[in-house]
Amino acid sequence: MNREQLRAYRAEHVPLFNSQKLKLGVFALNCSGGSIITNFPTDRQMTWDYNKSVIQLADRMGMEVALPIGRFKGQGGSSNHNGNSYEVYTWAAAMAAATENIMCFATSHVALTHPVIAAKQAATIDHISNGRFGLNVVMGWFAQEMAMFNVALREHDDRYRYGDEWLTVVKRLWSDDSVFDFEGEYLKLKGLEAQPKPIQRPGPILVNAGTSPAGVDFSARNVDVCFGSPAKPEDIDRLLAVRTIADQKFNRDVALMCSALVVCRDTEAEAQSAYQEILDNGDWDAAHSMLAALGVQSGSFKEGHDERMKRFVAGYGTRPLVGTPEQIVDMLIDYSNRGLHGIVFYFKDYLAELTYFSEKVMPLLKQAGLRH
């Protein structure tokens, strides 16, 4: 399929490329804490029924993306942030069977999942969902997590070189009907074959969230959606560079998406106070150990005061969307006008707040022309 054919195919068959102007989704529901490093009081439950209820609601709302976090180990601190988590392929498979239209994603740490297993699991979930599976390809950054598998964390850019090879094998298993050998720098594999092929052609939607030059290059070369982490709206303009690189260097389309904590209430004061509650209960120890694992010099962050540290506790560094329904919609209009393809949300209490979002924010998004 050439570029034009692929665009046409996806516009017709793949929910993430449907005619909605701003694609929407839910992120990080499968892990305790999600993307908020705090001990705040919440009615959120780490149960399958709760997970299913939220994603089924997102599906009924017409949202396009259910994206979990791939995590095997907690981040310590008083909350042991993310320490309680559902494994993502099994989560996506069951979610696919429980939904109608939303795309169900898994996340593969390339160094922890063999490409043959990843390709087979992905093809199976693509069949279960009738072409609604997507894969977040992650290089890994959490050395203690990798140690659980006795796998060492490679040097940063080397992780992406390994990821390139890993993905080459996966893509070929999705598309090549012959039996083939693969002789790479890292992977040397014999007699490779995989049937059935995925439903989606040429394979399930691929996403990556690399922000470094090596990560952006990997996204531009290999995946369909790159997730950026804007700390402010203007960052979107810079993050869009991935699309230019994909277009000019690799003759490919890549969409830009991002994630965000949403704290939406009837009044701005209520929203700010609910946001403040997250910070007041911040698990700063877990945040510092996570930043250290990510290789960020967290010593310069002052807990509870520094704006960057607040953003890290309330959304891993991404700008939180805090305000009334009208204010949230204005922020989303601005994101869309800047060229953002879509956004995945997380909430303090997903079920109650997604219900509120459905009632109060979705109608305004429709009025604004971002949804229909």
Tokens of 200: 């989606």
Minimum separation from the CB atom of position 170 to ligand FMN (A): 17
Smaller CB separation from ligand FMN, 75 or 129: 75
Verify cis geometry, omega within 30 degrees of 0, for the bond prior to 15.
no
Minimum separation from the CB atom of position 9 to ligand FMN (A): 25
Note the residues at the interface with ligand FMN (CB under 6 A). 69-70, 107, 136, 138-141, 209-212, 215, 227, 229, 259
Smaller CB separation from ligand FMN, 42 or 75: 75
Instruction: Give the nearest residue (CB) to ligand FMN.
Output: 215
Smaller CB separation from ligand FMN, 197 or 311: 311
Read off the amino acid at residue 145: E
Smaller CB separation from ligand FMN, 174 or 346: 346
Minimum separation from the CB atom of position 186 to ligand FMN (A): 17
Smaller CB separation from ligand FMN, 79 or 108: 108
Smaller CB separation from ligand FMN, 88 or 370: 88
In three-state form (DSSP H/G/I as H, E/B as E, the rest C), the secondary structure along the chain is CCHHHHHHHHHHHCHHHCCCCCEEEEECCCECCCCECECCCCCCCCCHHHHHHHHHHHHHCCCCEEECCCCCCCCCCCCCCCCCECCHHHHHHHHHHHCCCCEEEEEEECCCCCHHHHHHHHHHHHHHCCCCEEEEEECCCCHHHHHCCCCCCCCHHHHHHHHHHHHHHHHHHHHCCCCEEEECCCCEEEEECCCCCCCCCCCCEEEECCCCHHHHHHHHHHCCEEEECCCCCCHHHHHCHHHHHHHHHHCCCCEEEEEEEEEECCCHHHHHHHHHHHHHCECHHHHHHHHHHCCCCHHHCCCCCCHHHHHHHECCCCCCEEECHHHHHHHHHHHHHHCCCEEEEECCCHHHHHHHHHHHHHHHHHHCCCCC
Minimum separation from the CB atom of position 222 to ligand FMN (A): 13
Smaller CB separation from ligand FMN, 110 or 199: 110
Minimum separation from the CB atom of position 14 to ligand FMN (A): 19
Minimum separation from the CB atom of position 273 to ligand FMN (A): 27
Minimum separation from the CB atom of position 27 to ligand FMN (A): 6
CA 136 and chain centroid, separation: 7
Smaller CB separation from ligand FMN, 215 or 320: 215
Minimum separation from the CB atom of position 163 to ligand FMN (A): 10
